A and B are shown apart, each in its own frame.
Chain A
């Protein structure tokens, strides 16, 4: 790959950092360099005090010594090995091929049933989870995930995201997660870095990064989906609604054939939520939630971040925001139609 320049000077501290940007921005190249699979001039990479690479000093740790778990965009499971062998590949043979983590990871990612399958028999989502398990079981100091959600459609996306969150919470391994989908920076990360044409455009708290000048054009036409996790609470056949508990809030959707207690992932588009300054009665919409505005990011439209017992994004026109005098801290009401709340998993 000739003629490509990457000028990145980053200091990352967070548990989960999202690296976003359009294709060709250099995100995959960056990950490959951190993993030691690609080299460039004038590089210095340090991880938790260990120098991985330093061109000036002529130091370079080979990939097998970096203890970094890498999940490439195409997952790349070893086609000749069954799932179990794939997952255990990173475990030191000298140690007898045993891994205390194996059982935990298999349970967390729900891979018990497919351990003896060959990769060619797996679905896209299953391959992702096996790839994740393989990277995790090797006991890495850092996890690099290259577009872990991009090959999946909305439904699967909603299903993998909870797994990523579980990994973050259970294993405490720092994650650097790459995506070309701007809304993804809000899904998981504590810190976001936006890259374009090999340069860092912005870095910081995810929502505020969206407001950075050069980043705005990247989300101009993009729709933002709120991804929510909840469990079925009640089936109201009379009114033709299913009630789902998200946090402490009850959301009503069009009927979903699940039993109470079953987990479910939902999506509500930021463009489908209405905002009102006062509680409205006599509305056809079934969901009226009270919420507080936390932050606003402005471009051609405005993106608001609210807290309704869980975070929600709402997209409004600039005119509406101005007329209603919306600002962080204000208490408002959110209106959601039951059929805008979609089940994705």
Chain B
């Protein structure tokens, strides 16, 4: 592997990491709302959040393209600040974020639901605001599930291809990610190179998935919510 490929892996991992960080605050908020609240239109939100899991990634990429292009809704708004998303690293992060968002929300929601809501009630009765209750009770008791969810989102982001190639393109050194590079090598007939990167990819994904599973399972002083 040459330094170019090492940079490629670093870039891909870096973008995935950034995307995981980005989706965490809104992801946890939505996960909490889905876990604890009922409202009209809740199933609509649930469906929307799950959509990227089911929609063909290229379709999602196309939607993002239309959104972020200079004529698009978000793109025209950002253009006023001189920010361009399409075919830049920002598009890579955007594609990764959208595709991995549902995984984080699902994991976090399950983790929150496993915390006894009565504990939150007791915290409130002791004077804790809903925010303090979340930070002091819900989150600590669900941290394993939430962490596993974040790692899972990271893993998904690493392997993101369909949406990425559409909205970020394949610009070497600027938007090319590991999966995109593998695809390109295959297109060019460079099977050996493709094979080598494929092994890197497998190793990386394997390690991250294993980490996610390990985090979710460690027997600690607290597993789930009930004492």
Chain B's interface size range is 20 to 34
Contacts of B119 in A (CB 8 A): 76, 78
Q: Contacts A79-B227, A120-B227 hold; do A37 and B221 have CB atoms under 8 A apart?
A: no
- Please report A residues at the B interface, Cβ cutoff 8 Å: 32, 35-37, 62-70, 72, 74, 76-80, 89-90, 92-93, 118-120, 134-135, 138
Q: Are B121 and A37 in contact (CB under 8 A)?
A: yes
Q: Is the interface of A mostly helix, strand, loop or mixed?
A: loop
Taking a contact as CB atoms under 8 Å apart, the answer to whether B137 and A37 are in contact is no
A74 to B116 Cα, complex, angstroms: 12
6 more A-B residue pairs beyond the given contacts A74-B118, A79-B226, with a C-beta to C-beta distance below 8 A: A37-B125, A64-B126, A64-B129, A79-B227, A89-B136, A138-B127
Q: Which of B126, B140, B227 contacts A138 (CB 8 A)?
A: B126
**How far in angstroms is the closest Cβ of chain A from B127?**
5
Are B118 and A72 in touch, CB under 8 angstroms? yes
Asked if B174 is an interface residue, CB under 8 A from chain A, the answer is no
B interface SS class: helix
Determine if A92 and B127 form an interchain contact, defined as CB atoms under 8 angstroms apart: yes
The 8 A-B pairs of least Cβ separation, nearest first, read A90-B126, A79-B227, A63-B124, A70-B125, A37-B121, A80-B222, A64-B127, A63-B125
What are 29 A-B contacts with C-beta separation under 8 Å? Answer: A32-B121, A36-B124, A36-B125, A63-B124, A64-B124, A64-B125, A64-B126, A64-B128, A64-B129, A68-B125, A69-B126, A72-B118, A72-B121, A76-B122, A76-B227, A77-B227, A78-B119, A78-B123, A79-B225, A80-B141, A80-B222, A89-B123, A89-B126, A90-B126, A118-B221, A119-B227, A120-B221, A120-B227, A138-B126
- Shortest distance from the beta carbon of A153 to any chain B beta carbon, whole Å: 20
Chain B residue at minimal CB-CB distance from A71: B122
CA distance A45 to B86 in the complex (A): 58
